[in-house]
Amino acid sequence: MNPDCPAPKLRWDIFCRVIDNFGDLGVAWRLACNLAGRGQVVRLWADDTSPLAWMAPQGAPGVEVRAWTAPIDMTGITPGDVLIETFGCDIDAEFIAAYANQISHSGQPCVWINLEYLSAEAYAARCHGLPSPVMSGPGRGLTKHFYYPGFTADTGGLLREPELMARQAEFDRDAWLARQGVPWKGERLVSLFCYEPDGLGDLLDTLANDAQPTRILVTHGRASVAVRAEVLKKDRRQPRWNGLNSLSFFYLPQLSQMDFDHLLWASDVNFVRGEDSLARALWAGRPFVWQIYPQHDAAHAHKLAAFLDWLRAPDSLRAFHQQWNGLSLSAATPGDAPFAPADWQVCATRAKARLLQQGDLTSQLLSFSAKIH
């Protein structure tokens, strides 16, 4: 959107179901804050708002958080101008009925958008912005539009706050680590935000046998549980597996979204999972490895391959991703995939530069909504 032509001030209803691991809510909250920061009025509906207590403890001006109950409580509620359905979460029939009735009586246009999952696959660009007439239910006769985030100019872009790069440039690594209580003495820092990756044991062995000391900054939750279990298993099987004492750990508390950014900026290599943290790793511009959410039909393998193609990942980074995600097709032995952050840095720097040349998701979404409205 042209900054000289500000977006019209609209009322937005964003709906989100917290499926697992809080990534969906993380995206919805960032979007709500981005919109409110640009003068929009935002109401965020979530079926579990409790994670916001640590994810965004300060809240955000212009964002109202509402519990998404079943059935939804419509008492005193007038639907907004724009409905955002994150990741196909299906807004309740009573809310859609109220929205349809409002449109019918006011003559306002229908701006109902399905914010889809992030993907580098070709279908994202092909389907981005397409209309989808609603054929049944209380929304019959209305039209949804598909909105696909993405990595290329023909998609909806990635979430990025206008001040993000300036905030990153002013970041004080030493001060932030000290506030977290990390006893850093110049060793390599690796952040670990993961599920239970197949390659975790191999990574620990690789770093334990590296002459360069490494401290892993382990995030709260599943990553912490997985690391503690793996370390316990190694200690039982081979008590001197970390005999050089090259590898140490620091277990972090739950981090707010802002401090998660700081973690990525403070670390030399970032291991991330899901979609929200992938975008933040790209903006960090540091070497990173992505654990993609596994799917039963192995669709995640194609999704990962498409992303690595867009990333223009070097062979070492591709091999490491395959092993980390349990997708190696060869008879590779543990540790065959090289841990080569020096080679990965150029790739990360160039990817960030390409993304900065494109419009961010919120700016594009405002333009898209204004055209429909």
CB 55 within 8 A of CB 114: no
264 and 153: one domain?
Answer: no
76 and 17: one domain?
Answer: yes
CB 62 within 8 A of CB 47: no
Q: What is the mean pLDDT of the chain?
A: 93
Q: Is 85 helix (H, G, I), strand (E, B) or coil?
A: strand
pLDDT at 42 over 80: yes
Is residue 373 very low, low, confident or very high in pLDDT (cuts 50, 70, 90)? Answer: confident
Span 156-165, pLDDT tens digits: 999 999 999 9
The answer as to whether 213 is a domain residue is: yes
Q: What residues are annotated to the active site?
A: 24, 275
The residue segments making up the domain with residue 104 are 11-157+358-372
pLDDT at 330 over 80: no
Q: What is the mean pLDDT of residues 97-125?
A: 95
125 and 183: one domain?
Answer: no
The answer as to whether 226 is a domain residue is: yes
30 and 123: one domain?
Answer: yes
- Sign of torsion, CA 25 113 277 358? negative
- Residue 323 CA to residue 342 CA, distance in Å, equals 19
Residue 299's CB is within 10 A of a number of other CB atoms, namely: 13
What's the token pair of residue 356? 């900065």
Q: What is the mean pLDDT of residues 275-301?
A: 92
Is residue 335 very low, low, confident or very high in pLDDT (cuts 50, 70, 90)? Answer: low
Span 53-85, pLDDT tens digits: 999 999 999 999 999 998 898 999 999 999 999
What is the pLDDT at residue 372? 86
204 and 148: one domain?
Answer: no
The answer as to whether 4 is a domain residue is: no
Span 133-154, pLDDT tens digits: 999 999 999 999 999 999 999 9
CB 271 within 8 A of CB 291: yes
The answer as to whether 15 is a domain residue is: yes
Is residue 11 very low, low, confident or very high in pLDDT (cuts 50, 70, 90)? Answer: very high
CATH number of domain containing 65: 3.40.50
pLDDT at 333 over 80: no
- Residue 204 CA to residue 201 CA, distance in Å, equals 5
86 and 231: one domain?
Answer: no
The answer as to whether 141 is a domain residue is: yes
243 and 321: one domain?
Answer: yes
314 and 362: one domain?
Answer: no
Distance of CA 234 to the CA centre of its chain: 31
305 and 282: one domain?
Answer: yes
352 and 362: one domain?
Answer: no
pLDDT at 334 over 50: no
Q: What is the mean pLDDT of residues 10-36?
A: 92
Residue 111's CB is within 10 A of a number of other CB atoms, namely: 24
Q: What is the 3-state secondary structure (H, E, C) of 236-267?
A: HHCCCCCCCCCEEEEECCCCCHHHHHHHHHHC
What DSSP state is assigned to residue 116?
-
The answer as to whether 87 is a domain residue is: yes
What is the pLDDT at residue 3? 46
- Higher-confidence residue of 20 and 251: namely 251
199 and 279: one domain?
Answer: yes
Q: Is 104 helix (H, G, I), strand (E, B) or coil?
A: helix
pLDDT at 180 over 90: yes
188 and 304: one domain?
Answer: yes
How many domains is the chain partitioned into structurally?
A: 2
What is the pLDDT at residue 338? 85
Q: What is the mean pLDDT of residues 327-335?
A: 57
pLDDT at 337 over 90: no
